[in-house]
Structures are given as C-alpha cells and as structure tokens.
Amino acid sequence: MYLFKTIKNLQRYLLACKNRNESIGFVPTMGALHEGHISLLAFAQQHCTLTVCSIFVNPTQFNEKEDFDKYPRTTEADIALLEQNGCKVLFLPDVEEIYPHPDNPAPVFDFGYLDKPMEGAHRPGHFNGVAQVVTRLLQIVQPHHLFMGQKDYQQYKIIDKMLQITQSPVVLHMCPTLREPSGLAMSSRNIRLSPKEREQAAHIYRALLLVQQSMEVLPPKQARMAALNYLEQHIQNAQPEYLEIVNAHTLERVQHWKDAAQTVVCTAVRVGNVRLIDNLLLPPQTT
Ligand code: AMP
C-alpha cells in the first residue's frame, strides 16, 4: 500500500493512474477503522480499478472540542487493516495540509431543509464542516466514485446535495450499515463503550426495528413514541437526543406512512458519555 501524507505526492501518483485510464474510487474516513469501513473499501474495490482511502479527523465538523479530543485515533492498526484488505492507496494528511489557510472562510452551501433537523439541529455547524472537508478531499483526489455509509444517512443526503449544487461529475454510492451480531451499528465510537454500555447500546437497533414492526398497526407519531419509550425502558440513563421518522428524500417528518415513497427512522442516543447514531430505511406502505 502506498501511504501519502502530502497532496503533491498523492496527486503525482494519481495523475499517472488516471493517464492509464484507471477508475478511481474514494472512501473518506476519520480512522479508528472497523469492518464497516472495510465494507466500503470492498464496494469500492468491486466498482473501481483503484481505491483511495483517507484518514483525517476533521476538526471543523466537531461542535464539541472534547468530542474531537476524545475521538479514537488508532493509526497503526488502521494501516495494518487497510493493508490486509488490499487497499492500494492511503491518504493520511495533517490538518495544515488540508487547511493551509485556516482563516479563509469555509464554503457555505444552501442545503435547504436537509441540514435543519436531527444531526443538524443537535450539532450546530457539523454539516458545514462535513461539506467543507469532503469538498476539499474531492478537489484533491478527484475520484470518479465516492463511497459513503448509510450509517450516516443525513450526511449521505447532504453530500448528495452538495454534489448536485457543485455540478460534480462524481458518482455517489450509499453502502449498507454493518452491524455487530447484537445489531449494534459498527462505529469508531463503540471503542469508548464499557461492556455493559455496549450491551445496552444494542437496544438502539431494536428500537428502530420496533418502528418497522409497528408500521402496520400504528401511525408514525405513535410508532415514534413507542420506540422512545422502549429506549428509555431498556437503556439505563438513556438520553435519546432524537428519534424521528422522516421522508427519506426530504428528511421532513411524516404524519402518515403513505406520505413518502420511502421513509427512514433516524436516532441519536447518548449511552454513558458516548453519542451513537443509527437509522433504518422502512418498507413502503399504503396507509
Ligand atoms: P467515519 O470514519 O465515521 O467518518 O466514517 C467513514 C465512512 O464510513 C462514512 O461514509 C460512514 O457512513 C461509513 N461507516 C461508518 N460506520 C459504518 C458502518 N457500520 N457500516 C457501513 N459504513 C459505515
């Protein structure tokens, strides 16, 4: 695997690849890699002749400094895991490489309603930071295909919109969420859970499944309440920040299942000190 820390060296290498007509896939990450990340790499490897992974803990998308400081960093293990899984190129820049002029204003996008609810409401500035870093990384790597996880569904919608706004030719792919056998969505933050908290965190997915199971008998509002009650009963000191059933396209709340061709239930829950998010795309309904 080639490891590049500078834009200059990465671009020199990629230019030669593009001249050989390689199709370039890109998997941006913040490291502390797990099987979920590796599944994105595998998707990219199937679609493209060359896949670039990046590891960059982007300071501009953290709205709490403590969250940034505590974000797990496991670079040595990440490099080994990428190598084991046949990754050809890793881009591992430092902050100065990505933001050489930190005082320059970040590009501001109008995402309409997409960045208003859920993560947008609870993490002010988060999506601007995400859009800023993805724009910058795309400018550097100039891939043909971009692979992102459904795990961060709202982020996927934001990047989809950003690509439309900038009329980018990059093709965006959404890859399914990988889960632990317990149902807990794999996340870099899971490392910070105690064994007991990890067990409890599995109830997050069960709450989402409860919504799916109750679709035939309950309207969205009541299905949402049932899931919130489930979380409160099953996770000690559970602090659900939100649990919303929304139109998967617009992210607006739905009153009736039939209001949207596709709905998605999204949640963020604090388990101990760890903030976890998850979501489930729901089957279409006629009522
Ligand atoms: P992160 O390192 O958390 O910024 O995630 C990098 C990419 O991996 C994002 O596109 C995430 O949506 C995706 N990802 C994170 N966790 C999972 C998972 N459990 N399954 C699939 N993709 C994931």
End-of-domain residue from the set 125, 149, 175? 175
| Assigned domain for 183 exists | no
Is 256 one of the annotated active-site residues of the chain? Answer: no
| Assigned domain for 286 exists | no
Contact of 223 with 214, CB cutoff 8 Å: yes
As a whole number, mean pLDDT of residues 13-39 equals 98
As a whole number, mean pLDDT of residues 190-208 equals 97
**Owning domain of residue 42:** 2-175
| Assigned domain for 181 exists | no
pLDDT at res. 254: 97
As a whole number, mean pLDDT of residues 264-277 equals 96
| Assigned domain for 42 exists | yes
| Assigned domain for 85 exists | yes
Residues 99 and 237 in one domain: no
User: Which atom from ligand 1 is nearest to the alpha carbon of 150?
Assistant: 12
DSSP H helices, the chain, are 7-19, 35-47, 65-70, 75-84, 95-98, 119-122, 126-141, 153-165, 195-214, 220-234
Mean pLDDT of the chain: 96
| Assigned domain for 20 exists | yes
> pLDDT category, 160, cuts 50, 70, 90?
very high
Among 60-69, 84-93, 197-206, 230-239, the minimum mean pLDDT is found in 230-239
Contact of 264 with 153, CB cutoff 8 Å: yes
Q: Which has the closest alpha carbon to 89: 48, 58, 60, 129?
A: 48
Number of domains in the chain: 2
Residue type (1 letter), 281: L
User: Which atom from ligand 1 is nearest to the alpha carbon of 33?
Assistant: 2
- Strand order of the sheet with strand 263-271? 239-247, 263-271, 274-282
pLDDT at res. 105: 87
Gap from CA of 159 to ligand 1 centroid (Å): 14
End-of-domain residue from the set 143, 175, 207? 175
| Assigned domain for 180 exists | no
How far apart are alpha carbons 132 and 109 in whole angstroms?
Answer: 9
Gap from CA of 33 to ligand 1 centroid (Å): 9
94-107 pLDDT, tens digit each:
999 999 998 988 88
> pLDDT category, 201, cuts 50, 70, 90?
very high
Q: Which CATH number goes with the domain that contains 164?
A: 3.40.50.620
Instruction: Give the containing element (helix H, strand E) for 2.
Output: strand 2-4
Residues 211 and 145 in one domain: no
